[in-house]
Structures are given as C-alpha cells and as structure tokens.
C-alpha cells in the first residue's frame, strides 16, 4: 500500500491556490517593508481603539458622577425648600400664638405674663416677649426659662433701634414685621444672633401698643428644622452677602459637599437658608450607576487585554505559518523531483516548478480544467495511460515501489520517468486526490548506457588482447618447430635429390626423426593452448536456467530500451538444472541477444520483438547423445540471414557490421560445444532468425 500523505502537514501548498508569480518572486525587502507597514498600522489602530475606549469610559464615569451629583443636589434643593417652608410655617404659628396671647389677656398683665412664660417654655426659639405701648416703650416682658435673660449683659436699650424699626414696619404694614438680625453678646462670653418680631395692637384702626418677640436664629434652626435633619446635613442662616448668622448641624466635612440656598423672605427681613450636604470619606463608587460603569470599565479593560494577548498569539502563529510556507515554497522550488496533485476527477490541481520544467509546459497550461488529457501524454500511449488513470480513480492502489512510464516533452521528445503515487489526504482524513512524484530517468539512462557501452568495449578489447596474445604465443611457439621441420625437410630433400650415394641413409632417417619430434613439439604447443582453454571446465557449476536469464536481463533490457525493442521471456515450468560455466554461457546468451537486437535495429522497419525461450528437450541432441537437455532459443524479428552470410556465419573474423569483430558466433559455438551441446540457427516463421543452443540438463530445478 502506498503511504498516504497528509495534505496539511506534508504538502500544504498543493490544494492551496498558487501564489501569483509576481508575489512569489517578490523581493524579501519589499515583503519586509509591507510587514512593517501592516504592523505599524495594526499598532496605530490598537492605540486608537484603546484611546477611544478610555475616553468613552472616562466620559461615562464623568456623566455618571454628574448624574449622581445632580440627584444629590436635587434632593438637597428640595430639602432646603421644605426647611424654609417649615420655618415659615413655624414663624406664622408663633405669630398666631402671640396674637392670641395678646388678645386673650387685654388688661390682665398678670395672666399675660403667665401665659407668655408658658409660650416661651413651649417655643424654645423665642427668647423674650415684650409688651410695649404705642410709643414702643416697654411695659411688660417675659424671658425664656431655657436660657439666662438675654439682655443681662448689654441691656435692652441697645436694641431699641431694631425694635423701633420692626415696630415702625409693623405699624406701616398693620401686621407683624421683623427687624434685621443682630448679635447679642452673652454673659458666658458667647453670643446669640437674634431677630425682633413686632406685632402691632390695633383698636378701631389705631395702634394701641406692640407685642415684641425676640427670636434666637440658631434655635429657630434647631427647633424648626433640626429634628428632621439627617446626620450628613447642616443648615445655616446667612445674609444675602453670604455671612453666616446661625448654624445647626454637625461640624463634619467630607470630600464632597453640596450646597442649596433658599430665601426666607419675611416682612422687614430677608434671610438666606443654606443647606449643606457632605460625604464622609472618599467614595469611589458613590452610587450604583457609577459602580456599574466602573465594573464595565474594568471588564472592558480585561477584554481589551485578552484581545490584545490573543492578537499577539495570532500574529505569532501567522508569522510562523508564513515562515513555514516560505520554507516549503523554497523547498519545493529547489526540488528536482516533479510533483503533481490530481483531484478525484483526474484534474491536475497542482504542479511544482520542477514538473513544469520536466515536461516543458507552464503551470497554467497544465492546470487548465478543460483539458481532456494532459499534454505530456504521448498520443500513442494515451489509451494505456487513460486506463491506468481510470484504475487509479476507481481506487486501485499504485505499486509501492513506483512504476516507469514515458512522458512527452513540449518539443515532442519522449523521455522515461519513474512515478511514485500516494493518496492525498486532507485534514479531516478524507482522500481528496492523488499526489505523484516524478523522477526524470533520462540522465540515469544516459549514465547506464555509457557504462554499458564502455563495459562492452572493455570486454571486446580484453577479448582482442587475449586473442592477440594467444596468436603471438602460438606463432612464437610454433615458429621454432616449424622452422626446424622446414629445414630438416629441405635437408632430406636435398639428400634425396643427390641420391642415396651422396649420403648415408641414416642421415635422412635422422632428419625425419627430427621432423617427427618437431611436429610432436608443435602438437604439444597446440595442446597446451587447448588445455588452457579447457581449464575453464573446472569453473562449471549447477545452476537453474532462469538464473542465467536473470543474470543477463539487466544488460539486455538496457540495450532493448535504447533500441525500443520489446522483450518476451518464456520459461517452461519444471525446467531441469544445467551444469555449465555460468560466465561463458551468459556470454553466449548476451552475444545472441545483442546480435538479434542489432539485426532488428538495422532492419529499420517492422516490429521489434526479442523472445528468449527456454524449454526442455528429451530428443537425442546432439545426435547420438541421449538424456535430458535444455534448449535456449533467442529469436528476433529482423531481416533474417542471407545464404551467403549463413555459409560463413561461424567463421572467425567474419562480420557484416562496421564495428563487428566477427568472433561472437564462433566463440559461442566453441563454448556450447565445450559443454557438449550444439548451436544452430534457422529462419523464424514470420520473419527473422532463431538461434538455439542446448546444454546438458540435470535434476529438476
Ligand atoms: P559480429 O557480431 O561481431 O559481427 P558475430 O560472429 O557475432 O560477429 O556475427 C557474425 C555475423 O553474423 C554478423 O556480422 C551478422 O551479419 C550475422 N548475424 C549474426 N546474428 C544474426 C542475426 N540474429 N540476424 C542476422 N544476422 C546475424
């Protein structure tokens, strides 16, 4: 099974839209400055947001504070107004009580005094009540029992002007009137701010006397307002110019104070009632609204901080991602392996630069979805590829070790590629297509071809050198005996021509003996060469026929690929083992296969099929020999062997090729015959040639 690739991890780019080339080729400096710009902008936006939120919250806090102040101020104003109204009511009630006192006790000074004292006892704010005649001269008076007599220290006459003023006003208005307040020092060193009230007594439209009452302003506040006053308030009478005349309350001050003033307009006197409210200790959250706003501010601040932290994390991740992306892009661009992704419909969704370079088409061309088939499929093989693609899309897994195929470059040249395919799995674990990696085999083939031809040349040179060496050895070794034989023969001829008389018969016999000796020597030389060749027999071992075929296949298929020859191997099952010199037999197979391929190549036209067949033959081959034999045949679809060539086929150094040596077939025959087999050839039915040779077989492999 092919190992699936994780889209998100291994290859994030394939299914992502390709970067435009301009963006991909952007200078790093440009990218850097763009990043700095966006970072600055982001910071500016963040700062603006923070400033706006802080301003908004500050405004909210201020508004909440103001709202709260206005609430407090409103309550204070209302309380002050109520206090003024209370005082006015109290004063009016007192006026009525005083008038009643006067009316009830006309001509009864004794009773008047008793009742006046009762009134003074009940109304603590009244310090003194006087009865005066129509000339404002005092007739009778009563002092409050709650304090020492008011005018003890200063004497009443000092206040005569104030009383006169009040009474004049009263007479003029024919009703109660007040005089402006004034300060009366007391015997205890303190003093009181007092105010005179004068009520005229009328009888038949004429003033017959006056009732004068003296109020202590401080006590007016205490008695008439003080009881309802809360602890956080104080109240005072002031002049219209702000001078404080009397005061009631707790002398405490807080961080915040509110003040409300209301006029107490009395006939003859106008007082200002001022009410102060204060708060103890600095109140951070004076009311619910402010507390809410503050809590919201705090929550908003927390959210902002969290957001900023999240953004920073996001930015860091973004930067990491961009770096990883750039790294992968660089890695992909530097790859020499072509990469291609296809979706499950077979459309190409991604190609890397190496792939584009390999096939010579730009990526836009390859990614076009309207294409019926990729432009790099050679037309003659398109059917086969289509079938393979259909198989892949229907779920047939590709071979794990990859497979070889041929692609077509834009210029029309075909080239071999190795393909490795794996399913493309997305982040959810679903297969979204196929990912393929391509390795261009052209260079590898070129190197293999180079090494093969140089190996062949080396072999040929080695063979030539061996042949040359043996030839010179033979000529050298044979030269002497042959020269000796020649001279003995010549001597004997001479002696025979001169007649028997010319020389003893014994000499000729001797010469003939020498000739015989020398020819034996020459024979030994030849035998020694024969032995040298035969010595290889010791290198024989038992091997299976398919092992022999397997050993030559790499070299044979190399050349076959180069010459576009298709190879077919047919091995009969249950073949026996063969006992042979493996190297030599492999050499025979190689020679025959090479000759066959060259014959097909020079034929130019027609199919190019090379068939290697191995079968068992029980017939007596060679004639006379019985037993098990294994027959190897190499058949080609070349132009066949003309009769003239066939006659001299095994003659050493006979060749029809420009670069041939003409030793191949003769060597093959020698090797086969040394093994006891036979090498033969014949025409192949349908054209071409078949070369067959046999080797003795052993037990079944
Ligand atoms: P070389 O291959 O060096 O020419 P060989 O002895 O192997 O030497 O072959 C001798 C000749 O036999 C070749 O030149 C060629 O003309 C001919 N020949 C050999 N095999 C074939 C074949 N399969 N088809 C046609 N001709 C062949």
* DSSP codes joined into one string, 371-397: -SS-TTS-GGGHHHHHHHHHHHHTTPP
Comparing 17 with 620, which gets the higher pLDDT? 620
Q: Give me the DSSP letters along 466-478.
A: HHHHHHHHHHHHH
Q: For residue 3, tell me if it sits in a domain.
A: no
Q: Which of 503, 537, 571 is the last residue of a domain?
A: 537
Q: Which of 384, 418, 440 is the last residue of a domain?
A: 440
For residue 4, the model assigns a pLDDT of: 42
Q: Cβ(358)–Cβ(417) under 8 Å?
A: yes
State which ligand 1 atom lies nearest to the alpha carbon of 661.
Answer: 3
Query: Is the pLDDT confidence value at 13 over 80?
Result: no
Q: How confident is the model at residue 282 (pLDDT cuts 50, 70, 90)?
A: very low
Residues 429 and 461 in one domain: no
Q: Which has the closest alpha carbon to 621: 555, 533, 696, 556?
A: 696
Q: Which of 264, 279, 294 is the last residue of a domain?
A: 279
Q: Spell out where 93-185 has E strands.
A: 126-133, 138-143, 177-178, 182-185
Q: How far is the CA of 565 from the centre of ligand 1 (A)?
A: 18
**Partners of 438 in the beta sheet?**
338, 419
Query: Is the pLDDT confidence value at 535 over 70?
Result: no
- Low-confidence winner among 32-41, 396-405, 480-489, 608-617 (lowest mean pLDDT): 32-41
Query: Is the pLDDT confidence value at 216 over 50?
Result: yes
Question: 């040779």: which residue's tokens?
Answer: 693
For residues 303 and 296, give the distance between their C-alpha atoms in angstroms, rounded to a whole number: 10
Dihedral (CA of 678, 682, 685, 686) sign: positive
| pLDDT (average), residues 445-460 | 83
Q: How far is the CA of 652 from the centre of ligand 1 (A)?
A: 11
Residues 418 and 561 in one domain: no
For residue 10, the model assigns a pLDDT of: 37
Residue 588 CB contacts under 8 Å (≥ 6 apart), including other chains: 667, 668, 671, 672, 679, 693
- The residue whose C-alpha atom lies closest to atom 13 belonging to ligand 1 is 655
Residues 577 and 651 in one domain: yes
CB burial of 24-61 (b: ≥16 within 10 Å; e: otherwise) equals eeeeeeeeeeeeeeeeeeeeeeeeeeeeeeeeebeebb
Question: 């259909």: which residue's tokens?
Answer: 390
For residue 474, the model assigns a pLDDT of: 76
Query: Is the pLDDT confidence value at 606 over 90?
Result: no
Long-range contacts of 249-254 (CB under 8 A, 24+ apart): 249/276, 252/278, 252/280, 253/278, 254/278, 254/279, 254/280, 254/281
Give, for ligand 1, the residue of 464, 595, 651 to mutate: max count of ligand atoms closer than 8 Å to Cβ.
595
**Partners of 693 in the beta sheet?**
632, 679
Q: How confident is the model at residue 454 (pLDDT cuts 50, 70, 90)?
A: confident
CA atoms within 13 A on the CB side of 659: 7
Residues 574 and 650 in one domain: yes
Query: Is the pLDDT confidence value at 316 over 90?
Result: yes
Q: For residue 328, tell me if it sits in a domain.
A: no
Here the tokens at position 240 are 């219209």
For residue 281, the model assigns a pLDDT of: 44
- The residue whose C-alpha atom lies closest to atom 23 belonging to ligand 1 is 596
State which ligand 1 atom lies nearest to the alpha carbon of 681.
Answer: 23
Q: What are the tens digits of pLDDT across the range 131-165?
A: 998 888 888 999 999 888 888 777 888 888 889 99
Q: How far is the CA of 529 from the centre of ligand 1 (A)?
A: 26
Q: How far is the CA of 514 from the centre of ligand 1 (A)?
A: 44
For residue 27, the model assigns a pLDDT of: 44
Q: What are the tens digits of pLDDT across the range 330-379?
A: 888 888 899 999 888 888 999 999 999 999 999 888 988 777 788 999 98
| pLDDT (average), residues 223-244 | 83
For residue 7, the model assigns a pLDDT of: 39
Q: For residue 315, tell me if it sits in a domain.
A: no
For residue 538, the model assigns a pLDDT of: 61
Q: Which of 36-45, 248-257, 302-311 has the highest mean pLDDT?
A: 302-311
Q: How far is the CA of 600 from the centre of ligand 1 (A)?
A: 12
Give, for ligand 1, the residue of 643, 655, 679 to mutate: max count of ligand atoms closer than 8 Å to Cβ.
655
Residues 405 and 348 in one domain: yes
Residues 685 and 663 in one domain: yes
Query: Is the pLDDT confidence value at 564 over 80?
Result: yes
Residues 545 and 479 in one domain: no
The enclosing domain of 492 has a CATH number of 1.10.287.130
Q: Cβ(177)–Cβ(170) under 8 Å?
A: yes
| pLDDT (average), residues 424-450 | 89
Residues 500 and 429 in one domain: no
Q: For residue 66, tell me if it sits in a domain.
A: no
Query: Is the pLDDT confidence value at 562 over 50?
Result: yes
Residues 373 and 518 in one domain: no
For residue 507, the model assigns a pLDDT of: 80
The enclosing domain of 692 has a CATH number of 3.30.565.10
Q: For residue 476, tell me if it sits in a domain.
A: yes
Q: Which of 165-174, 366-375, 527-536 has the highest mean pLDDT?
A: 165-174
State which ligand 1 atom lies nearest to the alpha carbon of 665.
Answer: 6
Residue 541 CB contacts under 8 Å (≥ 6 apart), including other chains: 579, 580, 582
Here the tokens at position 27 are 């200078």
Q: What are the tens digits of pLDDT across the range 57-106?
A: 888 878 877 887 888 888 889 989 999 999 999 999 999 999 998 888 88
For residues 581 and 166, give the distance between their C-alpha atoms in angstroms, rounded to a whole number: 160
Residues 531 and 545 in one domain: no
Q: For residue 267, tell me if it sits in a domain.
A: yes
Q: For residue 302, tell me if it sits in a domain.
A: no
For residue 198, the model assigns a pLDDT of: 94
Residues 467 and 362 in one domain: no
Burial class of 142 by CB neighbour count within 10 A (0 to 12, 13 to 18, 19+): buried
The enclosing domain of 420 has a CATH number of 3.30.450.20
State which ligand 1 atom lies nearest to the alpha carbon of 691.
Answer: 23
Q: Which has the closest alpha carbon to 341: 19, 20, 10?
A: 10
How much is the pTM?
A: 0.43
Which residue range forms the structural domain that includes residue 543? 539-700
Q: For residue 383, tell me if it sits in a domain.
A: yes
Q: Cβ(208)–Cβ(126) under 8 Å?
A: no
Name the percent of the chain lying above pLDDT 70: 89
Average pLDDT, the chain: 83
Question: 């080695």: which residue's tokens?
Answer: 462
What's the domain count of the chain?
A: 4
Name the percent of the chain lying above pLDDT 90: 29
For residue 67, the model assigns a pLDDT of: 82
- Ligand 1 site residues (CB inside 6 A) read 591, 595-596, 599, 636, 638, 641, 645, 649, 654-657, 660-662, 664-665, 689
Residues 188 and 261 in one domain: yes
Q: What are the tens digits of pLDDT across the range 104-113?
A: 888 888 999 9
For residue 418, the model assigns a pLDDT of: 93
| pLDDT (average), residues 494-518 | 78
Do strands 629-635 and 679-683 pair parallel, antiparallel, or not at all (unpaired)?
A: unpaired
> SS3 of 58, please?
helix
- The residue whose C-alpha atom lies closest to atom 11 belonging to ligand 1 is 655
State which ligand 1 atom lies nearest to the alpha carbon of 655.
Answer: 14
Q: What are the tens digits of pLDDT across the range 21-52?
A: 434 444 444 555 666 667 788 788 888 888 88
For residues 293 and 289, give the distance between their C-alpha atoms in angstroms, rounded to a whole number: 6
């Amino acid at each position: 099974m092919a190992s699936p690739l994780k889209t998100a991890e291994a290859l994030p780019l394939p299914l992502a839209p390709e970067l435009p080339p301009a963006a991909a080729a952007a200078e790093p400096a440009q990218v850097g400055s763009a990043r700095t710009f966006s970072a600055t902008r982001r910071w500016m936006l963040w700062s603006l947001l923070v400033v706006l939120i802080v301003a908004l919250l500050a405004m909210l806090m201020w508004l909440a504070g103001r709202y709260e102040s206005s609430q407090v101020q409103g309550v204070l104003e209302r309380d002050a107004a109520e206090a003024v109204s209370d005082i006015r009511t109290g004063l009016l009630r007192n006026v009525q009580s005083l008038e009643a006192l006067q009316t009830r006790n006309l001509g009864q000074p004794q009773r008047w005094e008793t009742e006046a004292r009762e009134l003074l006892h009940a109304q603590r704010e009244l310090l003194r009540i006087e009865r005066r005649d129509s000339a404002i001269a005092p007739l009778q008076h009563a002092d409050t029992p709650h304090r020492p007599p008011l005018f003890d220290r200063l004497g009443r006459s000092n206040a005569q002007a104030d009383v006169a003023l009040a009474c004049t006003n009263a007479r003029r208005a024919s009703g109660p009137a007040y005089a402006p307040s004034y300060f009366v020092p007391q015997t205890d060193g303190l003093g009181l701010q007092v105010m005179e009230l004068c009520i005229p007594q009328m009888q038949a439209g004429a003033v017959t006397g006056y009732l004068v009452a003296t109020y202590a302003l401080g006590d007016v506040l205490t008695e008439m307002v003080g009881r309802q006053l809360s602890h956080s308030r104080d109240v005072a009478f002031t002049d219209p110019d702000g001078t404080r005349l009397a005061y009631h309350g707790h002398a405490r001050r807080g961080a915040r104070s509110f003040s409300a003033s209301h006029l107490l307009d009395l006939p003859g006197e106008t007082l200002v009632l001022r009410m102060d409210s204060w708060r103890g200790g600095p109140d951070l959250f004076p009311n619910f609204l402010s507390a809410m706003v503050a809590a919201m501010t705090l929550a908003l601040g927390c959210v902002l901080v969290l957001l900023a932290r999240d953004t920073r994390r996001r930015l860091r991740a973004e930067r990491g991602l961009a770096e990883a992306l750039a790294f992968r892009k660089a890695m992909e661009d530097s790859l020499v392996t072509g990469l291609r992704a296809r979706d499950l419909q077979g459309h190409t969704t991604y190609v890397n630069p190496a792939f584009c370079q390999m096939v010579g088409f730009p990526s836009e061309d390859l990614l076009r979805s309207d294409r019926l088939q990729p432009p790099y499929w050679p037309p003659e093989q398109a059917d086969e590829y289509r079938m393979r693609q259909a198989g892949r899309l229907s779920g047939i897994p590709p071979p794990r070790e990859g497979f070889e195929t041929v692609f077509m470059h834009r210029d029309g040249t075909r080239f071999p590629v190795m393909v490795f395919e794996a399913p493309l799995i997305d982040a959810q674990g679903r297969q979204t297509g196929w990912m393929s990696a391509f390795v261009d085999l052209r260079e590898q083939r070129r190197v293999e071809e180079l090494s093969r031809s140089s190996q062949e040349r080396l072999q040929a040179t080695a063979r030539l050198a061996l042949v040359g060496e043996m030839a010179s050895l033979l000529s050298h070794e044979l030269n002497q005996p042959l020269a000796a034989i020649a001279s003995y023969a010549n001597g004997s001829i001479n002696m025979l021509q001169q007649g028997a008389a010319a020389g003893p018969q014994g000499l000729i016999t001797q010469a003939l003996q020498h000739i015989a000796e020398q020819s034996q020597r020459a024979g030994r030389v030849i035998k020694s060469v024969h032995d040298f060749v035969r010595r290889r027999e010791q290198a024989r071992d038992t091997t299976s026929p398919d092992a022999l075929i397997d050993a030559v296949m790499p070299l044979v298929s190399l050349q076959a690929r180069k010459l576009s020859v298709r190879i077919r191997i047919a091995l009969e099952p249950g073949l026996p083992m063969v006992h042979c010199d493996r190297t030599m037999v492999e050499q025979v197979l190689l020679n025959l296969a090479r000759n066959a391929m060259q014959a097909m190549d020079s034929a130019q036209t027609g199919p190019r099929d090379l068939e290697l067949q191995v079968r068992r033959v029980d017939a007596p081959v060679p004639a006379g020999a019985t037993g098990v034999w294994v027959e190897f045949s190499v058949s080609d679809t070349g132009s066949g062997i003309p009769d003239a060539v066939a006659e001299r086929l095994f003659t050493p150094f006979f060749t029809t090729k420009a670069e041939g040596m003409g030793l191949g077939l003769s060597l093959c025959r020698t090797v086969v015959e040394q093994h006891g087999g036979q090498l033969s050839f014949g025409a192949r039915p349908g054209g071409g040639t078949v070369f067959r040779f046999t080797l003795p077989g052993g037990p079944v492999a």
